[in-house]
């Protein structure tokens, strides 16, 4: 099957009118960084959406890959994230500008607060989230970030932010795969006009040996990873699988039809990444 041409990947509209490509490339530190795979994704597979974070430690390398790809900055969707160690008004602004300079770009398409908990003593998480969000609101108004959002925020975190601040987050990036389907949070985000973005769509590989997933993959003659990625995107969830291997990057770009309802039954509530449930 031919790969979809870059700009034909479907997009999801944000509340401010921007269109985020439904499929992006994960780049977290788990499993390491592969320059060849990123280059392959950008130049051979038409991928235009990269998800990274200061925490992943690869901003400089990604910046180099983007320049080597020769792609115009305006063709790319770059998401970066602010680590809790940089929370606070001034630190947040400095960290965002620092990340831009590490990657050699003037702006991010999306900038997220990575986690709802603050690491600073003497200030509640709620106060610190609000102070930090005000910095992101300014970065948004200044055009350094074309959209701003949060990650790992639950309904109560979002409700507090709504009371304390003025811009509603454009995106909430949360763990999402067949074993982790936070339907209440997804519904809340839809009602509030917040795009729900799912991370770890393959449950870091755990879902790929699940019996139901294997059966559906066999039925549709697709791989288990393709079934899971297609399931996310077909549910309107922006999805960002990560691989350090070219052949898997190619496989993960091929979005196909599958038996989505059956996968919807697999939720067992497990988290394979961190769990924000107990963050006040």
Enumerate binding residues for ligand NAP (CB under 6 A): 26-28, 30-31, 51, 114, 151-152, 173, 199-205, 208, 223, 225, 240-245, 248, 251-252, 273
Q: Is 176 a catalytic residue?
A: no
CA distances 201 to 67, 197, 198, Å, are: 28, 10, 7
CB closer to ligand NAP out of 119 and 141? 119
Cα separation, 250 vs 101, in Å, equals 30
Q: Identify the helix (H) or strand (E) that includes residue 104.
A: none
User: What are the beta bridge partners of residue 175?
Assistant: 199
Cα separation, 248 vs 130, in Å, equals 40
User: Least CB distance from residue 201 to ligand NAP, whole Å?
Assistant: 5
Largest CA distance in the chain: 57
Q: Is the dihedral of CA 103, 243, 50, 161 positive or negative?
A: negative
User: Least CB distance from residue 271 to ligand NAP, whole Å?
Assistant: 10
CB closer to ligand NAP out of 90 and 236? 236
3-state secondary structure at position 157: helix
The C-alpha angle 218, 220, 224, rounded to 5 degrees, equals 60
User: Least CB distance from residue 29 to ligand NAP, whole Å?
Assistant: 8
Residue 184 marked as a ligand binder: no
3-state secondary structure at position 152: coil
What are the DSSP calls for 168-202, one per residue? PPSEEEEE-BTTB--HHHHHHHHHHTPEEEEE-TT
CB closer to ligand NAP out of 142 and 236? 236
User: What are the beta bridge partners of residue 197?
Assistant: 173, 238
CB closer to ligand NAP out of 134 and 246? 246
User: Least CB distance from residue 6 to ligand NAP, whole Å?
Assistant: 19
3-state secondary structure at position 76: coil
User: Least CB distance from residue 60 to ligand NAP, whole Å?
Assistant: 16
The one catalytic residue in 9, 56, 111, 199 is 56
The catalytic residue positions are 56
- Output the known binding site for substrate: 114
């Amino acid at each position: 099957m031919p790969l979809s041409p870059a700009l034909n990947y479907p997009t999801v509209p944000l509340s401010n009118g921007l269109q985020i490509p439904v499929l992006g490339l994960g780049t977290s530190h788990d499993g390491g960084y592969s320059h060849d795979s990123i280059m392959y994704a950008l130049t051979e597979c038409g991928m235009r959406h990269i998800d990274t974070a200061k925490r992943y430690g690869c901003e400089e390398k990604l910046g180099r890959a983007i320049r080597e790809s020769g792609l115009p900055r305006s063709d790319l969707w770059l998401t970066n994230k602010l680590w809790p160690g940089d929370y606070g008004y001034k630190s947040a602004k400095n960290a965002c500008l620092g990340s831009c300079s590490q990657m050699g770009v003037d702006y991010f398409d999306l900038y997220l607060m990575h986690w709802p908990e603050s690491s600073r003593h003497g200030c509640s998480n709620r106060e610190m989230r609000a102070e930090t969000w005000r910095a992101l609101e300014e970065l948004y108004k200044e055009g350094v970030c074309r959209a701003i959002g949060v990650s790992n925020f639950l309904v109560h975190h979002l409700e507090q932010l709504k009371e304390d601040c003025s811009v509603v987050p454009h995106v909430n990036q949360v763990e999402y795969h067949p074993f982790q389907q936070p339907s209440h949070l997804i519904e809340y985000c839809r009602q509030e006009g917040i795009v729900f973005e799912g991370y770890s769509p393959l449950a870091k590989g755990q879902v790929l040996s699940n019996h139901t997933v294997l059966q559906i993959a066999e039925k549709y003659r697709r791989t288990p990873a393709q079934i899971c990625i297609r399931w996310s995107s077909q549910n309107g969830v922006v999805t960002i699988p990560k691989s350090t291997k070219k052949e898997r990057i190619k496989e993960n770009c091929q979005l196909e039809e599958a038996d989505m309802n059956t996968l919807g039954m697999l939720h067992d509530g497990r988290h394979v990444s961190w769990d924000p449930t107990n963050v006040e």
